[in-house]
């Protein structure tokens, strides 16, 4: 079963609303992926890659901690309130960028954008998990990430096109204001709470604390593997988001072509998750994670070596395919291992580890780009993905064990002998 049959028409409407909101939150992020690195140089005179990537680091810090806070809050006060809070925080973001008199305003806008992304995206992921059968978590996360990164890709390309004909700041980011306002209205008026749906999974076992969820992530082999693989995936994303427009511009590539290459990556990433999510439900999580990390390395290296448009698009597509393989699979693996009433906390902890990769990636990619150039920076980043794949291959449990299976085993162990 994809979805529980209780009130199926209402459930389907709620799923559609969540997918629309996820598309919008992805679009909010896509507004920045082509234009902000170029604005840094053209409008604010910033030439250092490390300084330019400071907006990525700021975004990563707040997004990581917003994920962490969102997980604990959702287990305590419900999903819908966190969703609404995230959209309210997103409203000022486009206005700050439109009115920015200095680069510091852009940094502040990205701090708020990180909080918006962490709260809204974590909430929609958890609400979709609540609506779907536990054995279809890969499918539910695949759908969420597909529509979200389709939104990222669509606005990445659209802003690049608009920037060539209109102001690179004003018009594109006014679109973001409309998205945020609609997100607030839909979350407030139409979306329903889903927290009660997890009760069907709950046993007589005590609910783990948030501290317990954090400790489990540090010592469980599967959760360790997921955390570091997620972090490395975001190192790659930070390197592409912050450096790719600058790298291509340094080769004389026009802004529309830059937008195409920058959009291919999240579009393949998004569409690929329609396949990788359900595939992870069928063949297990570990193979997709290992091969996905290897593909990410190949895509990064291909971008570094590219000299023409075909090679650039191919490299972006390979990177997108690798990211698609790991992205919903990691979240589904964390959901598999989590107590139902602490699942949001566990996913929030994972997403905290994962999005810390934005900060690490900004420091590593920006620093090495300044020291040894764009190409060598990408070679180094790709090598980190290879090491991550080896870690997962060695460390992650070969057979995923669901929380329900762990519960049944512990219940059997506690039962009196016959």
Note the pLDDT tens digit of each residue in 122-176.
Answer: 999 999 989 888 778 889 999 999 999 999 999 888 877 777 776 656 766 788 8
Q: What's the pLDDT at 339?
A: 76
Specify the pLDDT at position 5. Answer: 45
pLDDT at 414: 39
Top mean pLDDT of 34-43, 151-160, 183-192, 208-217 is at: 183-192
Which pLDDT band holds residue 406 (cuts at 50, 70, 90)?
A: very low
pLDDT tens sequence across 256-284 = 899 899 999 998 999 999 999 999 999 98
Residue 371: per-residue pLDDT: 94
Instruction: Out of 17-26, 194-203, 238-247, 358-367, pick the least confident.
Output: 194-203
Q: Residue 389 in contact with residue 294, Cβ under 8 Å?
A: yes
The C-alpha angle with vertex 168 and arms to 162 and 171, in degrees rounded to 5, equals 65
Length of the chain: 418
Mean pLDDT within 379-405: 82
- Kindly report the number of other CB atoms within 10 A of residue 16's CB atom: 10
- Residue 343 has what pLDDT? 82
Report all structural domains of the chain as residue ranges with CATH numbers, in order of start. Answer: 8-193+209-404 (1.20.1250.20)
- pLDDT value of residue 187: 96
Quick one: pLDDT band at residue 403, thresholds 50, 70, 90? very low
pLDDT at residue 53, rounded to an integer: 82
Which residues, 6 or more positions from 291, have their beta carbon under 8 angstroms from its beta carbon?
322, 325, 389
Q: What is the largest CA-CA distance in the chain?
A: 78
- Answer yes or no: is pLDDT of 214 > 80: no
Are the CB atoms for 191 and 18 separated by under 8 Å?
yes
Q: How many CB atoms lie within 10 A of CB 1?
A: 8
The per-residue pLDDT of the chain, averaged, comes to 86
pLDDT of residue 321: 97
Phi, psi of 3 (to 5 degrees): -135, 145
Q: How far apart are CA 288 and CA 293, in angstroms?
A: 8
- CA atoms of 104 and 112, how far apart (whole Å): 13
Instruction: Look at residue 199 and tell me whether its pLDDT is greater than 90.
Output: no
Beta strand ranges found along 113-220 (DSSP E) = none
For residues 71 and 283, what is the distance between their CA atoms, to the nearest angstrom?
Answer: 28
Rounded to an integer, the average pLDDT of 62-82 is: 92
What would the two tokens of residue 373 be?
């150039």
Prediction pTM value? 0.80
Please state, in angstroms and rounded to a whole number, the distance separating the CA atoms of residues 349 and 329.
16
When pLDDT is cut at 50, 70 and 90, the band that residue 227 belongs to is very high
State the pLDDT at residue 31: 84
pLDDT at 108 over 90: yes
DSSP bridge pairs for 240: none
Both tokens of 329, joined, read 């699979």
Tell me what pLDDT residue 26 has. Answer: 94
- C-alpha distance from residue 167 to each of 39, 42, 96, 173, 174 (Å): 11, 12, 15, 10, 11
Q: How far apart are CA 84 and CA 188, in angstroms?
A: 6
Q: What is the mean pLDDT of residues 373-393?
A: 96
| Res 399 pLDDT > 70 | no
Residue 409 pLDDT level (bands cut at 50, 70, 90): very low
Q: Is 230 helix (H, G, I), strand (E, B) or coil?
A: helix
For position 184, what pLDDT does the model report?
Answer: 97
What is the per-residue pLDDT for 196?
A: 78
Token digits of residue 84 = 């609404």
pLDDT digits (tens, 9 = 90+) for 117-130: 999 999 999 999 89
Question: Residues with Cβ < 8 Å from 23, sequence gap 6 or more?
Answer: 147, 148, 150, 151
Bridge partners, residue 132, by sequence: 3
Written as six digits, the tokens of 406 are 């762990």
CB contact at 8 A, 125 and 331: yes
- How confident is the model over 1-29, as pLDDT tens digits? 444 445 678 889 999 999 999 999 999 99
Q: What is the mean pLDDT of residues 52-58?
A: 86
């Amino acid at each position: 079963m994809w979805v529980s049959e209780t009130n199926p028409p209402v459930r389907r409407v709620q799923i559609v609303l969540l997918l629309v909101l996820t598309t919008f939150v992805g679009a909010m992020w896509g507004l920045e992926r082509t234009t902000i690195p170029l604005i840094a140089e053209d409008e604010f005179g910033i030439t250092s890659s490390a300084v330019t990537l400071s907006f990525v680091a700021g975004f990563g810090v707040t997004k990581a901690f917003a994920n962490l806070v969102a997980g604990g809050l959702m287990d305590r006060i419900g999903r819908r309130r966190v969703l609404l809070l995230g959209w309210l925080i997103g409203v000022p973001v486009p206005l700050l960028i439109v009115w920015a008199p200095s680069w510091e305003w852009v940094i502040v806008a990205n701090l708020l954008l990180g909080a918006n992304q962490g709260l809204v995206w974590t909430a929609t992921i958890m609400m979709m998990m609540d609506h779907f059968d536990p054995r279809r978590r890969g499918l539910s996360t695949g759908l969420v990430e597909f529509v979200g990164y389709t939104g990222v890709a669509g606005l990445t390309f659209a802003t690049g096109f608009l920037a060539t004909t209109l102001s690179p700041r004003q018009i594109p980011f006014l679109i973001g204001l409309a998205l945020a306002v609609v997100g607030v209205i839909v979350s407030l008026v139409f979306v329903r709470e889903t927290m009660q749906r997890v009760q069907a999974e709950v046993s007589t076992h005590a609910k783990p604390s948030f501290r317990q969820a954090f400790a489990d992530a540090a010592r469980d082999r599967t959760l360790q593997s997921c955390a570091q693989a997620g972090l490395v995936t975001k190192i790659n994303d930070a390197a592409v988001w912050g450096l790719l427009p600058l790298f291509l511009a340094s080769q004389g590539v026009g802004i529309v072509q830059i937008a195409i290459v920058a959009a291919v990556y999240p579009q393949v990433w998004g569409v690929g998750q329609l396949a990788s999510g359900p595939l992870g439900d069928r063949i297990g999580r570990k193979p997709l994670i290992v091969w996905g990390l290897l593909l990410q390395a190949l895509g990064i290296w291909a971008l570094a070596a590219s000299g023409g448009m075909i090679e650039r698009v191919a490299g972006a597509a390979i990177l997108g395919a690798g990211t698609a393989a790991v992205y919903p699979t990691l979240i589904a693996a964390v959901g598999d291992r989590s107590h139902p009433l602490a699942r949001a906390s566990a996913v929030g902890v994972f997403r905290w580890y994962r999005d810390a990769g934005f900060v690490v990636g900004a420091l590593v990619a920006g620093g090495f780009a300044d020291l040894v150039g764009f190409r060598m920076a990408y070679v180094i980043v790709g090598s980190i993905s290879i090491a991550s794949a080896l870690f997962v291959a060695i460390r992650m449990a070969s057979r995923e064990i669901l929380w329900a299976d762990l519960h049944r085993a512990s219940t059997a162990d506690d039962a009196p002998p016959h």
